[in-house]
Amino acid sequence: MRYAVKTSFDVAVWFMDRASADDAYLQPRMLQALLFVAQGIYTAAHKDALLMPSVFTMDDTGPLEPNLYKVLEYGRPDFAVNAPSPGISTFLDSVWRRFGHFDALRLCQWIKRLSGKLSEDDLGAGRVIGPEEMRALFAESGKKEKPAVKPVPTRNPVERKPAEGVPVTVAKREGVIPPNGEVGAAYRPDGSAVIVKKWVPGIG
């Protein structure tokens, strides 16, 4: 198994520095969730490679890399790290832009919804989530289904008369609420528009 970066600290510090640059506070559990998501998305896209040499477990709160959590719990480490390559930095930036605005609870809840693909036995407290399982969790995470947009049918125009007695043609569209409560768009025979708010009783 190959790794894209030499140590997991390289990725962790990248996220910490990016949060600092955005003037954002990165909670310890939020950092753990971001690391887990980055690892999962990367390994789902690269069959024989992992982003970093990390081993994640899952507890009641969410994902955790116990060794990283212990070292980084109180802030940025006081030792030198290697900057990721430009390609990996671009990938990490995409993860940050997609998930960095979440809070720790929301991101962990999103991860736990993904975890529904695994059995309860797979997700016991302290259970290691291996590369194949992470691949299963994140295989579909990058595919967003867009809701189908149904065409709005248009009824046949109906001729009605407003209070002033000028004939107009009204086009109603099903499923659409016009602004300010008007029933529809109205037009005089010469093509000019008129706002129709009141109909002559008994007509139309």
43 part of a folded domain: yes
Q: Same domain, yes or no, for 94 and 170?
A: no
Q: Same domain, yes or no, for 130 and 196?
A: no
Q: Same domain, yes or no, for 130 and 89?
A: yes
Q: Same domain, yes or no, for 13 and 95?
A: yes
Q: Which of 83, 111, 138 is the last residue of a domain?
A: 138
Cα(75)–Cα(17) distance, integer angstroms: 11
- C-beta pairs of 70-75 under 8 Å, 24+ apart in sequence: 71/9, 72/12, 72/16, 72/28, 72/31, 73/28, 75/16
Structural domain of 183: 148-204
If DSSP codes are grouped into helix, strand and coil, which group holds residue 77?
A: coil
76 part of a folded domain: yes
Q: Same domain, yes or no, for 121 and 23?
A: yes
Q: Same domain, yes or no, for 110 and 60?
A: yes
List the chain pLDDT tens, one digit each, 204 residues.
Answer: 799 999 999 999 999 999 999 999 899 999 999 999 999 999 999 888 999 999 998 887 888 999 999 999 888 888 888 999 999 999 999 999 999 999 898 998 888 777 665 545 555 566 788 888 888 888 866 554 333 334 444 455 555 555 555 555 544 444 444 444 444 445 455 555 555 454 445 554
Tokens of 188: 């005089």
Number of domains in the chain: 2
Straight-line distance from the first to the last Cα atom of the chain, in angstroms, rounded to the nearest whole number: 75
Cα(51)–Cα(55) distance, integer angstroms: 11
Give the whole-number percent of the chain exceeding pLDDT 70.
62
Q: Which of 98, 117, 138 is the last residue of a domain?
A: 138
**Backbone phi, psi, residue 6, to 5°:** -75, -40
Other Cβ atoms closer than 10 A to 75: 9
Q: Same domain, yes or no, for 152 and 134?
A: no
143 part of a folded domain: no
